[in-house]
């Protein structure tokens, strides 16, 4: 089992970082317009609800991700942990024709603070002076927003705030970025567009289970998603790997088996035995005991460490080898 998989934080921890992407959509057509672009069904009768979805191109490949926060039907915020605002904004503006929608970029100056650990709930509740948001909801706080996170740290929370309105962190232990990366990789949570990007399908990173509605109406890339669901298997998959020795010097780092490139490491972090990472790997002929080298003739020092997925590897191999070209 991946040693990073079950990260446990005893206490109250917080980490503050700059926001990569934060857009505000406003206007009478904001809800209808966004519903036609994002992969998740964002229709809701309630304000202060949130959804996690993707923005795809015509081939169903991943351009960006975002947490869509509904303040009211005419005001939405799109927060992305790693996708720059410019990518999402340019994509959306290409499809605004006569829609009453205005897009504003709030990335500059805003921060996101992650709260985690066994004492985080009580500590954050005291800072807010109110109950914490339930899954699928968020609350307004200090001109920003608080919502549950997806960090691989158990239950965690994110506080998005403009400059000068951040929550005080007195009494909180610092949460190192390396620890957060350990948890993310251990939980196999793809970072868009680092781990899953414009050359990849959502299902190759497992995002079809969390970021896509297969029952909503049309959106860009929807037809490919429906065909993919019907076929049931992709040819590649983002899997956890571990390696001996230092971190790869550059990422993505190619992986080879028997001198043939079969994938690449997209993310990596140092761990006790060397490094752990997320790698996009071909499923053709993939065996649970497979090992890989970082150069065509190098030592095989990287191995699979993905016990959730490996039992299905053999069952899916025959299907993967017969997929049509649009699933490559």
Asked if 157 and 283 sit in the same domain, the reply is no
Residue 189 lies in a domain: no
Asked if 142 and 57 sit in the same domain, the reply is yes
Position with higher pLDDT, 8 vs 105: 105
Average pLDDT over residues 92-112: 97
Asked if 167 and 258 sit in the same domain, the reply is no
pLDDT of residue 233: 78
Asked if 32 and 164 sit in the same domain, the reply is yes
pLDDT of residue 232: 76
pTM as predicted: 0.90
Quote the domain boundaries for residue 286. Answer: 233-327
Domain count, the chain: 2
Place of tokens 């649009």: 326
282's tokens: 């071909």
Asked if 97 and 237 sit in the same domain, the reply is no
Q: How confident is the model at residue 231 (pLDDT cuts 50, 70, 90)?
A: confident
**Contacts of 310 by beta carbon, 8 Å cutoff, 6+ apart:** 288, 304
Asked if 29 and 170 sit in the same domain, the reply is yes
Q: How far apart are CA 186 and CA 174, in angstroms?
A: 20
Asked if 149 and 44 sit in the same domain, the reply is yes
24's tokens: 């505000």
Q: Is the pLDDT of residue 288 over 90?
A: no
Asked if 238 and 105 sit in the same domain, the reply is no
Q: How far apart are CA 87 and CA 66, in angstroms?
A: 11
pLDDT of residue 328: 33
Report the percentage of the chain scoring pLDDT > 70. 91
Q: Could you tell me which of 46, 45, 44, 63 has the C-alpha nearest to residue 54?
A: 63
* CA angle, 60 then 34 then 215, to 5°: 60
Asked if 159 and 252 sit in the same domain, the reply is no
Residue 186 lies in a domain: no
Q: Is the pLDDT of residue 61 over 80?
A: yes
pLDDT of residue 306: 82
Q: How confident is the model at residue 311 (pLDDT cuts 50, 70, 90)?
A: low
Asked if 289 and 152 sit in the same domain, the reply is no
Position with higher pLDDT, 44 vs 86: 86
Domain-ending residue, one of 127, 142, 174: 174
Q: Is the pLDDT of residue 321 over 90?
A: no
Contact 218, 36 (CB under 8 A): yes
Asked if 163 and 240 sit in the same domain, the reply is no
Place of tokens 């915020």: 77
pLDDT of residue 192: 98
Average pLDDT over residues 130-145: 96
Report the percentage of the chain scoring pLDDT > 90. 81
pLDDT of residue 4: 40
Average pLDDT over residues 283-309: 88
**CATH assignment of the domain containing 284:** 2.40.30.110
Q: Which of 76-80, 86-90, 178-182 has the lowest mean pLDDT?
A: 178-182
Q: How far apart are CA 156 and CA 113, in angstroms?
A: 10
Domain-ending residue, one of 174, 199, 217: 174
Domain-ending residue, one of 157, 174, 191: 174
Residue 153 lies in a domain: yes
**CATH assignment of the domain containing 54:** 3.30.1360.120
pLDDT of residue 312: 52
Asked if 148 and 268 sit in the same domain, the reply is no
Residue 221 lies in a domain: no
Average pLDDT over residues 139-161: 95
């Amino acid at each position: 089992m991946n040693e990073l998989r079950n990260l446990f934080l005893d206490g109250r921890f917080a980490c503050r970082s700059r926001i990569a992407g934060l857009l505000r959509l406003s206007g009478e057509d904001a809800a209808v317009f966004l519903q036609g672009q994002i992969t998740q069904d964002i229709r809701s009768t309630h304000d202060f609800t949130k959804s996690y979805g993707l923005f795809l191109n015509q081939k169903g490949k991943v351009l960006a991700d975002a947490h869509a926060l509904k303040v009211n039907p005419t005001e939405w915020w799109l927060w992305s942990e790693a996708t720059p605002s410019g990518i999402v904004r340019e994509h959306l503006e290409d499809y605004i024709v006569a829609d009453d929608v205005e897009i504003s970029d709030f990335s500059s100056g805003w921060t996101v603070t992650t709260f985690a650990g066994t004492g985080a709930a009580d500590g954050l509740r005291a800072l807010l002076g109110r109950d914490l948001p339930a899954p699928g909801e968020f609350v307004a706080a200090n001109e920003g927003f608080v919502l549950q996170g997806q960090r691989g740290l158990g239950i965690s929370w994110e506080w998005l705030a403009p400059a000068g309105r951040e929550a005080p962190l007195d009494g909180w232990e610092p949460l190192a970025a390396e620890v957060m990366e350990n948890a993310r990789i251990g939980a196999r949570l793809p970072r868009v567009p680092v781990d899953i990007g414009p050359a990849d399908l959502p299902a190759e990173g497992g995002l079809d289970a969390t970021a896509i509605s297969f029952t909503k109406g049309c959106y860009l890339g929807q037809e490919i998603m429906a065909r993919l669901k019907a076929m049931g298997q992709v040819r590649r998959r983002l899997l956890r790997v571990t390696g001996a020795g230092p971190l790869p010097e550059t990422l993505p780092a190619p992986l080879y088996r028997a001198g043939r490139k079969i994938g690449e490491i997209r993310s990596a972090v140092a761990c006790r035995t060397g490094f752990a990472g997320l790698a996009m790997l071909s499923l053709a002929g993939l065996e649970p005991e497979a090992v890989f080298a970082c150069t065509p003739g190098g030592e095989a020092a990287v191995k699979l460490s993905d016990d959730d997925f490996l039992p299905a590897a053999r069952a899916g191999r025959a299907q993967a080898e017969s997929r049509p070209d649009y699933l490559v």
